[in-house]
Structure 1
């Protein structure tokens, strides 16, 4: 199975993040992987103009706690998008399935409940090596991809707001 380089994208297609505010929730479980995801996300946000003051990073114990940590960010009026960064590695039990399902559903629910971007940056891999390959290794960094997605989704929302304002809504 081919995997694209998660860090490769057309930089010209990414709007400026200069006036955007981001929350990043990072799972402490598999910290070697998740800290690399967070570093990639922060660096990518900065590369596109986000300032240190407009990037807030908080840690939660594990990936299952990511949606609640993200909700705490959502309840802050000054956050435009929230990135959820975690890593769940397949084990011998169904625990993997329950965690992945819970985090995925929680992320979808937050997007709809708060009408702002919550970006799923959770690696769901079979092995530790696959996770490392996607956290700055040979397949790039999922944190970079999550950051670009957040910027583009905030910009999309801003475009809709401008259009609605011009139309008198």
Structure 2
């Protein structure tokens, strides 16, 4: 009976082919950097979980030169949040509130998502917690307080007496 001998070169080639076939795909460094994904990001800090590295601007609004409010999205985390910064030269005495508002894609009531950030001269920079990107979202600021939307879809039960406030929102994204 005749047998075929592979030799060292043949064995090395066979081993190389086998190792490539059995290789487990590894996540890229960028994918591994994110600490959450979509709904698991809900209510979490984007900076603590590494979602900020690929944050892209969806919409922005400014209150003159005093305040910049940005609605941002992370593709690696599939999440949105609001970043805001107050100009250090801001002379207003009132605090400004920044909030992420969301509504389901299929429709329904809007609600604040994540924490409200309270900005003052002493605390001029902040971000809200994240929300899963699915749905429709907007970033708002106001001088009234938390959970006040200056551009509501509907305020039920107010009897037409809205509190006096200043504020604005980005477009729904």
TM-score of the superposed pair, with normalisation by structure 1: 0.29
Q: Which has the higher strand share?
A: 2
When Rg is computed on C-alpha atoms for both structures, the one with the higher figure is 2
Structure with the greater relative contact order (CA < 8 A, sep ≥ 6): 1 or 2?
1
